[in-house]
Amino acid sequence: MTDQAREWPADMDAADRVRHVALTRTTPQNAGWIAEEADVSRDTAVKYLTRLVDHGELEAVETADGTCYKPDDVTQFLREVRSFAEEYSLDDLTEELRAIGDEIDSWQATYEVDSLEELRRSIGSDELSPEDRRERLEIVDEWEYNVQVRESLQLAISLKGSLTRLDAEPRLEGQGSNVLPQEG
């Protein structure tokens, strides 16, 4: 647990705390760790973690530390798609797709590669300095992130179109923003 006790909002019950802790982890954690972070007993954590697994929000994975829990990748991806569709206009989503495409085109020209895989392979070149290798590794990470965001944006555009055809657009209307989230 953190060095100091976490103060939870008064309106956050045990289930909410377990859910919050479990869904905000980037690496799988066991029930004991989650219980300590959420300020609940291990049995209480297991009860709520099992429910989250049953509802598809978490995955239970076996590790050297026993059964651990991590956010379900598909559920997280679909939430991101829905969030983009609800929060941004078609113009915003399209503009972000253009910006991602421009950035990838720039990397292809800068590193004289046609694909992410080709950039990855180039890292092993004997002609590169250690700094050049590190730089290319950073670009690989950014490129991978852009591919993931691009897929989410493309599906968000499709979702907006489907919702419009289903006459379900009112929930999405008027929730646009001019700024999409960017990686730090």
Helix (H, G, I), strand (E, B) or coil at 150: helix
Q: How far is CA 151 from CA 35, 80, 156, in A?
A: 34, 10, 9
pTM above 0.75, yes or no: no
Q: What is the pLDDT of residue 92?
A: 96
Mean pLDDT of 156-176: 69
pLDDT, tens digit, for every residue of 69-119?
Answer: 999 888 889 989 999 999 999 999 999 999 999 999 999 999 999 999 999
Q: Was domain 14-71 assigned CATH 1.10.3470.10? A: no
Segments making up each domain of the chain, as ranges: 14-71, 75-171
The pLDDT score that the predictor gives to residue 176 is: 46
Least confident of 27-31, 40-44, 66-70, 163-167: 163-167
Q: Give the span between the Cα atoms of 151 and 155, in whole angstroms.
A: 6
pLDDT score recorded for residue 62:
93
What is residue 65's predicted lDDT score, i.e. its pLDDT?
Answer: 82
Q: How confident is residue 169, by pLDDT bands cut at 50, 70 and 90? A: low
Q: Which residue has the higher pLDDT, 28 or 172?
A: 28
Per residue in 43-58, pLDDT tens? 999 999 999 999 989 9
Q: Which long-range contacts (CB under 8 A, 24 or more apart) does 149-152 make?
A: 149/96, 149/100, 150/97, 150/100, 150/101, 152/77, 152/80, 152/81, 152/84
Question: pLDDT tens digits, residue range 111-148?
Answer: 999 999 999 999 999 999 999 999 999 999 999 999 99
CB 69 within 8 A of CB 29: yes
